[in-house]
Amino acid sequence: MTREVRPMAAKACANDKERVGVYVCHCGSNIAATADVEEVARWAGENLEGVVVSRDYKFLCSSLGQAMIRDDVKEYGLTRVVVAACSPHLHEKTFRRACANAGLNPFLLQMTNIREHVSWVTKQKEAATEKVKALVAAAVKRVKYHQPLEPMRVPVNRHTLVLGGGIAGIQAALELGDAGYPVYLVEREPSIGGHMAQYDKTFPTLDCAACILTPKMSEVGQHDNIRLLTYSELEELSGSIGNFRARIRRKARYVKETTCNGCGLCTEKCPRKVVDDVFEAGMGYRKAIYTPFPQAVPKVPVIDTKSCTWFERGKCRVCEKVCPTNAIDFEQKDEILEVDVGNVILATGWDLFDCRRIPQYGYGRLANVFTSLEFERMCNASGPTGGRIVLRDGVTEPRSVCIVHCVGSRDLRYNMYCSSICCMLSLKLGHLVMEKTGAKVYACYIDMRPNKKDYEEFYQRLLDEGMLFVRGKVAEVTDVARSPQEEGKLIVQVEDTLLRKQRRIPVDMVVLMGAIEPRRDARETGLKVGISCGMAGWFIERHPKLDPIATMTEGIFIAGACQGPKDIPDAVGQGAAAAARVQGMISKGTVLIEPVVATIDEDRCSGCRICNNLCPFNAIEFLTEEKVSRVNVALCKGCGTCVAACPAGAIAGAHFSNDEVFAEIDGLLSDARGDDRVPAGPATPSGAGPAAREEELAARQ
């Protein structure tokens, strides 16, 4: 039920020039069920100096709640606003906008979080109410020292850097290119395509993966607005939103891209053959000079210097002799390319869990235990077996196959998360086995999770086709037989939780559904571009629900499986969404950046450079001639690390001055002193050093 909204103890403040409005949100029952918000509003109106209007409301973030704040600012002449509600991370912009619409500078607002910091961490109503009062008192004292700030406008470079040439990166690049914006697409492998290029079919429609991917790859390769930089890696990224500078290393292919016609004669005549551990997942071979797969874009081979006889022993050069266009260049060197871009999209993808880490499943020890990626290459018509499903001997077709789910995922010892695609991938592989060999297929699962469009129908289809499902986590895969029927077989030991008994399932082949993991160098890449990884290693988004595309660094976006496990449709959707966000910024021409940044008083700066080394965003540069440091406000995120570290007290943080912080502490401690009414009190001059701060704090106590 909605309470009547009313001002609590509206009064004049003759001794205090600031007129503060306090608004306490019920957040439905999220806050009101734990804290007495009506009592807090009454108390604030009667006891906090400078408060001229105090209200509580069911949902302050609603249009009616915002209108109430806007009207009060005009009616009561409010010069400061305090909102006690949920996290500022969620709704600070909402309430800043309400203040701005009323003609009040949005930075004269202070939000205090009484949901996550109070109501969600206790069930003691009296204690929660008292803590809310303390937080509101702190916010009221602090907001009086806020200064009006204005966002800064920064021009946006029209070029965009997309890191990663998988399906998410391809989609993002095409969306931007088709919109008329220049794109640099950087891929570390010799060809774009990513993991999708390795697949045979895609679930649940069983479309040919190459048939739906290669047209997009070709479009990227021929697009006027996309510059394709394969066999390249990002070395360094500097600058800030709208004006980044990327340093890219283009590794030497030893083949001239502009001269090569892709005839493949060099690959055909190369005498050196090695195991392909990348594209073929160790299931096939390639030459020392190779293109990863027939549909590769660009169709330009690369020489693997670790395998090439010329680079090993100084002999051979057959490829050079047979090349009809003289495209082979053994003297080619790595090239460093620097490009200016306005935004960056990371679509760096995922790695497959190393199934050797679970020795009881026998991978790497028992011949006919395969990973899902090995099996994909085996099923593929362009794969090492030509699409035939056979055992390691390369001849024998399996008559029985067991697919083991959740290998390395949903496991406290390895990865706690669900890898999202394994259930559907196992159904697809089971279908392919039965279609191509007629073998009996078992699937040992923990839980089936076909939770998207047409996924459940695909699951039912496999049940109808005769795939056998065993609910239970596999304990072991062994070749030790206990009966004549088990001789020469792999035995899958599993507890069937539906039958409530242990089972030993003899099969010819075992396929392990390895977990999807972050790229091995994800943290290193994150450091280069100024974003963080979570505990599991995935890139952290700005908000997991409301902003899963953006990151905490303005101008850096993420798409695809680098953010977390996801299937192809989700990766495509996220790639398009990231491109849309970038297009929106480019079309405006300029972007507004937060003015909550640090500034250095160069007259007081001693040039010690402590702040330069501590800044996590590399936002502080040292001016050699002046021998002082200066903050690049476009890079600064206002974290306050430099402010706290400066021994001279020469750095001040906008919106987090000493005045504001000490006033907030003073307000928090008012209940500990037993104050019924919280006076304004003095504050330490902004920029005072550590000694002055300690003296001031001691005097207040």
In a domain, 585, yes or no: no
User: Is there a contact between 398 and 486 (Cβ–Cβ < 8 Å)?
Assistant: no
pLDDT in tens, 407-447: 999 999 999 999 999 999 999 999 999 999 999 999 999 99
Give me the residue label for tokens 């996309």: 226
Cβ neighbours for 698, distance < 8 A, ≥ 6 positions apart:
none
In a domain, 495, yes or no: yes
**CA distance from start to end of the chain:** 44
Q: What are φ and ψ of residue 655, in 5° steps?
A: 75, -5
Cβ neighbours for 334, distance < 8 A, ≥ 6 positions apart:
249, 250, 251, 252
In a domain, 371, yes or no: yes
Give the chain's residues under pLDDT 50.
1-15, 678-694, 696-701
CATH number of the domain encompassing residue 423: 3.50.50.60
In a domain, 77, yes or no: yes
User: Is there a contact between 372 and 425 (Cβ–Cβ < 8 Å)?
Assistant: yes
Domain boundary among 143, 158, 173: 143
**407 and 510 inside one domain:** yes
State residue 617's pLDDT score: 78
Beta bridge partners, 407, equal: 514
| Rounded CA separation 93/71 (Å) | 18
In a domain, 203, yes or no: no
State residue 633's pLDDT score: 83
State residue 204's pLDDT score: 93
**420 and 295 inside one domain:** no
State residue 700's pLDDT score: 42
State residue 111's pLDDT score: 96
State residue 674's pLDDT score: 61
State residue 675's pLDDT score: 59
State residue 638's pLDDT score: 86
**484 and 606 inside one domain:** no
**29 and 97 inside one domain:** yes
State residue 9's pLDDT score: 42
Beta bridge partners, 83, equal: 23, 111
**621 and 487 inside one domain:** no
**390 and 513 inside one domain:** yes
**59 and 103 inside one domain:** yes
- 3-state class (DSSP) for residue 109: strand
Number of domains into which the chain is organized: 4
**275 and 359 inside one domain:** no
**279 and 373 inside one domain:** no
Of 52, 123, 58, 122, the C-alpha closest to 85 is: 58
User: Is there a contact between 137 and 670 (Cβ–Cβ < 8 Å)?
Assistant: yes
State residue 8's pLDDT score: 43
Domain boundary among 119, 143, 167: 143
**510 and 639 inside one domain:** no
In this structure, the number of other CB atoms found within 10 A of the CB of residue 694 comes to 11
User: Is there a contact between 529 and 346 (Cβ–Cβ < 8 Å)?
Assistant: yes
Q: In the numeric block, which tokens belong to residue 175?
A: 């969306």
CATH number of the domain encompassing residue 645: 3.30.70.20
**388 and 495 inside one domain:** yes
State residue 16's pLDDT score: 54
In a domain, 172, yes or no: no
Give me the residue label for tokens 């850096």: 556
CA angle 539/349/182 to nearest 5° reads: 95
Cβ neighbours for 643, distance < 8 A, ≥ 6 positions apart:
598, 651, 652, 653, 656
DSSP codes of every residue in 265-332: HHHHH---EEEESSTTTTSEEEESEE-SSTT-SS---EE-TTT-HHHHHS---HHHHH-TT--B-TT-
In a domain, 467, yes or no: yes
Beta bridge partners, 110, equal: 82
Q: In the numeric block, which tokens belong to residue 277?
A: 């551990």
User: Is there a contact between 198 and 210 (Cβ–Cβ < 8 Å)?
Assistant: no
Domain boundary among 490, 517, 544: 517
Domain ranges, residue 313 = 265-322
For the chain, the farthest-separated pair of C-alpha atoms sits apart, in whole angstroms, at 98
In a domain, 163, yes or no: no
Cβ neighbours for 653, distance < 8 A, ≥ 6 positions apart:
596, 597, 598, 638, 640, 643
List the beta strands (DSSP E) in 12-141: 20-25, 51-57, 80-85, 109-113
**498 and 612 inside one domain:** no
| Residue 152 half-sphere exposure toward CB, CA atoms < 13 A | 15
CATH number of the domain encompassing residue 90: 3.40.50
